[in-house]
Structure 1
Amino acid sequence: MAIPNEKLQQLLQEISSKAAFAEQQLGIVRGQMAQKHRESRMLQLSATELEALPKDTPVYDGVGKMFVLTTTDGIKQRQGKEAEDIKTEMANLEKKMHYLDTTFKNSQEHLQQILQRGG
């Protein structure tokens, strides 16, 4: 069963654009994952520094353009919540990356199949 040239060209263009979009989105997701990894590392480093401080040390937390005196426990609690949020976001980004990677690979395979049949 032969596909007319116009339909074949339209199909190839559609699959190519889908592959290009998936590849572009993969780059964006990888950048977002790298950013979340950096944020996670910063939280780990600051948590390590907080552990080294005595319990009664005055600690300031940044709120917008000012700093507020708070306890080390309050900072640890906030950082724990932030760490959980980052883990959740990383899991979602990994799912998105897997989906986009699968879409890209499938598009490439379809293009190869069409070109092999057409050629």
Structure 2
Amino acid sequence: MSISNEALQKLVQEIETQAIQSQQQITTVKSQMALKQREMRMLQLTSSEISTLPAETPVYEGIGKMFVSSPIAEVDKRLNKETSEIKSDVENLGKKLQYLETTHKNSREHIDQIFKSGGRS
């Protein structure tokens, strides 16, 4: 039994659309991961610089257009919290990337199978 040309064409179009969407989302997720990793690196560098300062050194954080004096311990605690949140975000993006890559690969394989079989079921 063979699939009609219209049905086959529609099926291939749907799979191709899914593959294209997956590829676009993969690009987006990769750029988001790069951005998060850059943010994490900046937080780690800031934390390492703060840890080298003496405890009595005044530290200021920018809030809007002003700077507010904050204890080093509080700043370091906030930096560590933000770093752990970003690590979690990167892990979630990694899982999403893996899913999208699998979806894209499967879509391509389905299209190849359809063309190899010549539309026969």
TM-score, normalising length from structure 1? Answer: 0.97
Name 2:43's counterpart in structure 1: 43
One-letter amino acid matched to 2:11: L
Offset of residue 33 of structure 1: 0.2
Instruction: Provide the C-alpha distance between the structure 2 equivalents of 1:65 and 1:16, rounded to a whole number of angstroms.
Output: 49
Higher relative contact order (CA 8 A, sep 6+): 2
Q: How does 1:1-119 map to 2 (within 5 A)?
A: 1-118=1-118
- List, as ranges, runs of 4+ consecutive aligned residues in structure 1 with deviation greater than 4 Å: none
- Could you list the runs of 5+ residues in structure 1 that have no partner in the other structure? none
Instruction: Provide the C-alpha distance between the structure 2 equivalents of 1:60 and 1:2, rounded to a whole number of angstroms.
Output: 72
Offset of residue 51 of structure 1: 1.1
Offset of residue 25 of structure 1: 0.1
One-letter amino acid matched to 2:13: Q
SS at match of 1:2: coil
Percent identity reads 50
Instruction: Work out the number of aligned pairs and report it.
Output: 119
Q: Give me the CA root mean square deviation.
A: 0.9
SS at match of 1:3: coil
One-letter amino acid matched to 1:100: L
Offset of residue 65 of structure 1: 2.1
SS at match of 1:68: strand
One-letter amino acid matched to 1:3: I
